[in-house]
Amino acid sequence: MANKPYIYVTRKLPESVISRLNNFAEVGMWNREETPVPRNILLNEAKKADALLTMLSEKVDTELFEVSTNLKVVANLAVGFDNIDVEEATKRKIVVCNTPDVLTDTTADLAFSLLLMTGRRLVEAVDVVRNGEWKSWSPYFLAGSDIHHKTLGIVGMGSIGEAVAKRALGFDMQVLYHNRNRKPETETKLGVEYASFNKLIEQSDYVLVLTPLTKETKGMFTKDVFKKMKKSAFFINVARGPIAVESDLIWALKEGEIAGAGLDVFDQEPISQDHPLLQLDNVVALPHIGSASVETRTAMMKLCCDNILAVLNNEKPKTPVNKDLFQKI
Ligand code: 8YV
């Protein structure tokens, strides 16, 4: 028993998914579903942990690595890992894993839904009916913007981008994309067109952000960028809030530099009810639910468990972020 590894899970996850870990290790778990683990408890648990199963809400940084002398793997319940200092983890030979692929279609569904909701003013429309404000008809009553035959610009063409492009092509949209590396196979396979960032910004009717949050993408959308967008265009962000300078986005929405925004992500989450973005009629806001279907969240949890068990058994995990660690083994 004494030699059993210790795994700490930073949120209350269903026993049915996590129980596999019990066969192999001692498992500790923060016992709240909705509240993140306090930092002092996390650090205390990390001291004895061989593995951590973390959420985006946990900062996994040098301070944590300093105290976790047994730590071998951090499995993050997300495809993004901007909460983790991967460089520092790699230096210490700690494997970092994420949950790509299993959430691709679910996140693409949400991204495209948000685009539809924003363009066609669906939230306003639902509110009008619910609030008893549907009193008459007029030619431009709740008239939104078309989706079909419009141009969608995808910033960040990974697997989620490709999945959104497929949905958009089904709606007869033209799809432009911008990515660090051009993807000729994707262009041929899907019929999407590569564009420089400026061309994409200037020509798109819907600009969808799907890039990870990195030093390069932080603050990518500024006043200058919003000014270059069409005044009739919509900004849709399902990636990370800080990719746009939030105050510049608010400015663009208020000044009519863009027509509206569909946002699943924010600088600080959760946002408060009195947040300036929520005072604007041309904003559709969602509470960061890109991957939130029961099937997908369960698959993400399972993948985290697979990854942890693989590393603790000295095997290559399914989805490591710092792949370099395995080339040397
Ligand atoms: C998270 C996300 O999984 O995967 C990501 O990067 O942003 C979401 O799908 C979710 O917020 C739970 O951490």
We report the CATH number of the domain holding residue 270 as 3.40.50.720
The backbone torsions φ and ψ at residue 170, rounded to the nearest 5 degrees and listed phi first, read -65, -20
pLDDT, position 3: 81
82 and 145 fall within a common domain: no
Q: How far apart are CA 96 and CA 320, in angstroms?
A: 6
The active-site residue, picked from 121, 167, 288, 297, is 288
pLDDT, position 329: 46
For residue 291, the CA-to-ligand 1 centroid distance in Å is 6
140 and 255 fall within a common domain: yes
Q: How far apart are CA 119 and CA 148, in angstroms?
A: 11
Nearest Cα neighbor of 13 from 58, 96, 77, 102 is: 77
Q: How far apart are CA 151 and CA 148, in angstroms?
A: 9
205 and 303 fall within a common domain: no
Q: How far apart are CA 211 and CA 167, in angstroms?
A: 18
For residue 263, list its beta bridge partners.
237, 285
Give residues (CB < 6 A) around ligand 1.
Answer: 55-56, 77-80, 103, 288, 290-291
Residue at 111 is within a domain: yes
pLDDT, position 327: 76
Q: How far apart are CA 77 and CA 258, in angstroms?
A: 34
Q: Which atom of ligand 1 is nearest to the CA of 291?
A: 9
* Nearest CA residue ID for atom 3, ligand 1: 78
Based on the residue annotation, tell me whether 216 is a catalytic residue of this protein.
Answer: no
Q: Which atom of ligand 1 is nearest to the CA of 107?
A: 9
Count structural domains, the chain.
2
Residue at 1 is within a domain: no
Based on the residue annotation, tell me whether 240 is a catalytic residue of this protein.
Answer: yes
Q: 280-303 pLDDT, tens per residue?
A: 999 999 999 999 999 999 999 999
Q: State which residues of the chain have pLDDT below 50.
A: 1, 329
211 and 228 fall within a common domain: yes
Nearest Cα neighbor of 125 from 12, 284, 275 is: 284
Range of 69's domain?
Answer: 6-100+294-328
Residue at 147 is within a domain: yes
124 and 206 fall within a common domain: yes
pLDDT, position 193: 98
For residue 58, the CA-to-ligand 1 centroid distance in Å is 12
Q: What is the dihedral of CA 228, 234, 235, 236, to 10 degrees?
A: -160
136 and 247 fall within a common domain: yes
Pocket test for ligand 1, best of 9, 37, 77, 217 (most atoms within 8 A of CB): 77
pLDDT, position 1: 46
Q: Which atom of ligand 1 is nearest to the CA of 80?
A: 6
The whole-model pTM stands at 0.96
